[in-house]
Amino acid sequence: MFEDIAERKGLEFRCDKRDGSYVELGGGNKFMTFKLWFSSASGLKTLVKVQVNFVEYIIFPIKEVKLKSICPESEELEFLFPEFYMEYRKSIRFKVYDIFCEKARAILTRKGFKERDFVDAYMISKRFNLRYEDLEEETLRKLKFILRLYYKYRRNLNDKVSMLTVENFPFGSERYLLMEKIDEEDFHLFLNGFMVWLKELAKADSFRVNRTLKG
């Protein structure tokens, strides 16, 4: 399927699990990552990453939300690029609450920082009027679930407690990836509160993880 998509879209991909630059199995074969490469408008080689989790903890009832396309409504674009226009104007359906909790969980268990994770969390919370404080219990449940599966995430969580400060944040490191500007001042305000919230989650669960490992 991905080879067919890559060929139609002009992407570089081979379905060969022996080649980690295209296909990668992880977590004791609990998830698989497909990497479809292309040259971006800035000239950098980048990728579309598709990750399939074979083990997932779904908390919220299945409720699909439509995400509008970033492609603007335009008769001119539709006339010039009819095939691409109709495809990129399609709405995408996804489960917003579970995705936000997973994003927060990923930030806590990922090694180091990726600015895109925080920008994603910010944009989801703004677009869908979410308060991360209201999703604390659900995020902790997802965190506990993943920590039982992967030992490396326990180490990363312990390290993340001391790292979660605005001073350590890599401002601007991945801003070139954005296709639309964000309100920098509002993002910084969000980041200050979000960092504190994440750190409290990390401290709480890091303590329990250490007790478990020592016991």
Q: Write the pLDDT tens digit of every residue in 49-105.
A: 898 888 888 887 766 656 566 666 777 877 777 776 666 666 555 578 888 999 999
* Residues 165, 104 share a domain: yes
Work out the widest C-alpha separation in the chain, in whole angstroms. Answer: 67
Structural domain includes residue 130: yes
Pick from 25, 75, 31, 26: nearest CA to 53: 31
pLDDT tens over the chain, length 215 residues: 889 988 888 899 999 988 999 999 887 788 899 999 998 777 778 888 898 888 888 887 766 656 566 666 777 877 777 776 666 666 555 578 888 999 999 999 988 888 889 999 999 999 888 999 999 999 999 999 988 888 888 888 888 888 888 888 877 777 676 767 888 899 999 999 999 999 999 887 554 555 454 44
Q: Count the helix, strand and coil residues of the chain and give each as a percent rounded to the nearest 5.
A: 55, 15, 35
- The boundaries of the domain holding residue 3 are 1-54
Domain count along the chain = 3
Structural domain includes residue 43: yes
Structural domain includes residue 9: yes
Residue 22 contacts residue 38 (beta carbons within 8 Å): no
Residue whose tokens read 């995430």: 153
* Residues 133, 61 share a domain: no
* Residues 161, 118 share a domain: yes
The pTM assigned to this predicted structure is 0.69
Structural domain includes residue 214: no
